[in-house]
Each structure stands twice: as structure tokens, then as C-alpha cells.
Structure 1
């Protein structure tokens, strides 16, 4: 009887509780040359402790994109390039908070509005078979409403897997999963009805449907990874940002941040000057009263 109970418990646990979420439900990437723009971000907690934290995307020899909510939490990261497995990268590079710029209008928490950051490298990357860039979305080739229309195919990538509803992250080899965009206004309404202070922004965010309508595509640790469109070339549509349980995943829309991406530090300076001018006018208004 004890043996029967043990076998029954094993069957139940593996059948019902081993529900897997995240990119584990997709496919292992067999060749890094197909996704040589992927970067793993390792957070360096101290001299003796570090862990995989997020992902990033190479868009030029000197620029890497990721999401703000990853980078604003740390001061020291190790970037891993050309890696199918993060413990076997082709190249690594250490950066600090002096090397990246967070969008000045990043909300600082949930909901993650303007969830984007740019790493700028002092020394350019040397491109080759395992390290290269992805082109950002080109609306001469892709319809400008591709992200907001429902049912359009995208591919998402990441270095994690997880078991169970809690989506506790463990590091895995690079995986990809195909998904579809969610109709924007339906997603916006759904998010707002369930989370009253969350109004996602059409010109800066978009939504991706759950995998087969049931399970999340991505996981904790996949943030900053790419949402891409595959045509004759790969195009970067957005960055994996955040989600609410059992609802479409919310991504940062690259086309809504092109000015920031082009020159992050100048963008921040201009934004700061505008803010100071507004505060000055407000102060003068208060004095008049």
C-alpha cells in the first residue's frame, strides 16, 4: 500500500504540479549564430556572489538595449555574449552604472512605463559569427500597426525556465518561443479593469498573448530579452518587460523610444532642462498668487 501511495504521489506531482511556464515551453536554440544579438546580464552582488538577472540586445557595436527595471537595481553587471549556455559565453564584459542610461521617464516601479535603458560601450564590440546586432523595426518593411493588431506572429527569447505557478526562475540554455500580439485596446481594457492604476500606453507599449491562451511565454529573468519579427532578416519589435498573472504580457515598444535610443544622455539632458523650466514657471505662478 505504501508503494502504491508513493507511485500515485509521483504520478500526480509530475502530471499536475510540474506545469511549466516561460520559454522552457518553446524550443532550445541550437545555433547562437541565429541569435547572435542576445546578451545575458549577470548581476554582481559582491565579489563572491552573482547571478543571471536579465537579458539585453545588441543594436550596434557600441549599444545594447535592456529594460530599466533590471538595470536600476544594480551598479555592477557582467555581460555575456555569444552564449547558448551562460556558463560558456564567447565573450564577457564588465560594466557599471556609469555605462548605461535609464529612460528619464521610467516610472520606477509597477507599472513599468518607459521601461528601457541603453548601455553604451567605450570600446566597440567586434562582430563575428557569434556576436552581432539586430536591426530595429523598419516600418518600410513592417506595418506600423503590427504590434497593436491582434494575431501577428512574434518570437521571444530568454535564458530561463521555471516550474509551477510561482514561476521560480532557474537558468537554462537559450530558448525561443513563438507567440502572437494581442489586440492593444482589448489588452489595455483588460489590464485597467483588473489593475485600476495601470493604463498601458499604445505608442510605447504592446501586448503579447499567453502561449496557447493558457500559459505565460516568459519568466522572471527574461526581462530585457527581445520580441522579434522574422522576415528575411530579424527585426526588433520590443523588449520583454512585465506581466500580471494569467494576462497578456506587456512589452516595451522600440519605435516609441527611438529618440532616446539614438542619444540617451542628450535625451536625459533635454528632459531635465524641460522639467526645470516647468518647475520654474510653477514657482513663478505660486509667487504671483
Structure 2
């Protein structure tokens, strides 16, 4: 099954119209462009190459009517030419409908292999919807494993905040997948920790196992003026339940008028709590 097909007669273009110098002012970016972020450094580098060597590969566009055109492939080249002040750019004019134009734009960007993880995931999602493909069918068409495509698509289940970290490169796709079991609130909290403390994936996975324990320990360390460890050992969750029960009993004793002195060693490998009771 092809991702999209063309009507042969509809796609025939006279040779004298296949490559044309089209005015940049008449060209607009592709509304189906999967890439949401364009690196200014990359555009400037491409512009430098265009200035020295010219455009080696024409952009691909389609007619919109009234002498206007829309980019199908080559938006980076278009932006670089704009930055150089070019009036026209060599273009191949194709006859395509919306679905065909969207599919080609998505595929062209995916094949460049430098999309950020969220743009790549969204591109796969859009291709599946446009062409009514399953994950297995899409993976086969793109020459990827089904697990690769599935892992990319899972990233779209993350919160917008975490997705923005992924898109900017502040966290990796592996970080993102580690956060998937968490609630929206906890995804954001842990993502901030990853960025602020430069946590690796292993550290992240340890925090995710007991996220509440991590932030309880972090808050305690901050209150005591202690440096917060990157990946502190945490008291197991079942033990913390028992400890909280003991602390509730201590509070009841204090409320009843008993003077209570408590010393607590929070080492998870050798946890100790010492209680001294005295009447006031």
C-alpha cells in the first residue's frame, strides 16, 4: 500500500513548466509543514551555501490559484533564499490535492532525520490519519520497525509542557517515555527536575518509581539547608506508610500533653526513629 498515489494524467506537466523561476513573493509556506521550529543557524548556513554555489535542488510547489503557490518541499531553501533577498527561486510545479501535498511534505521532512521527537511523532500521526494507515502499515512504508513508530507516537501522550522540553532538546525521547506513567502534575514536576539538575535517564526512572518520596525528601533537604542530591535514595513506599502511622501517634501524644522528643535517621538502608516521652 503506497502512502499516496497520483492520477497519472492529472500529474502530467509540460516539460517547459517543470522547472520555473517563481517569484518568492508569490510563494507561501506549506500549511501542512510538520517542522514547527527552524534553526536560524541552519538557515544562515544554508544561505551561505546558496550564495556561494547557488540552488542545487529546486523547491517543489503547487499552484493555489490567482498566480499564487504553496511550498510542498524545500521550505528551508525558501527561507534561506528569502534571507538573501532573492526575488525568484527555481521551482518544480506539481499538481496535487491537499492530502497528497500534506503526505509529501511529511515524508520529505521525515527522511531528513533531523526533526525533533515531537514533530516526528506528529508527522507519523498525521500520515496515519491522512492515508488511513495502521502503525504496522506506516512502519512498513517508512522502513521503520513497528516498535520505533509506536514509541514515537507515545510521546504525544505527554503534557504540552513536557512536549515543549522535548521539542527544544532539553530532554530526550527516553526521558519522555520514562515520564509517561505519571500524572500531568508529576510529569511537569519531574521534567523540571531533569532540566534543572541535568538528570540522566536512569536518575529519571528512579524518581518515577517513587515520585512522591523524591519530592518529600527534596523538600526536607531544602528546609534543612542540605544540598539536594541528584538521585537520592528514598525510603520504600511500604515503609513510609508505617512511618507516617508512627508520626500520627507522636502527634496524638503531643496533643494530649505529653512532651515528645523525636530523633530520626532517614537513611533508607538503616532507618531509625527514636522517641522519648516525658510528662510536661
Q: TM-score, normalised by structure 1?
A: 0.24
Q: TM-score, normalised by structure 2?
A: 0.24
Q: Which has the higher strand share?
A: 1
Q: Higher RCO, 1 or 2 (CA under 8 Å, sep at least 6)?
A: 1
Tell which structure's C-alpha radius of gyration is larger. 2
Q: Which has the higher helix share?
A: 2
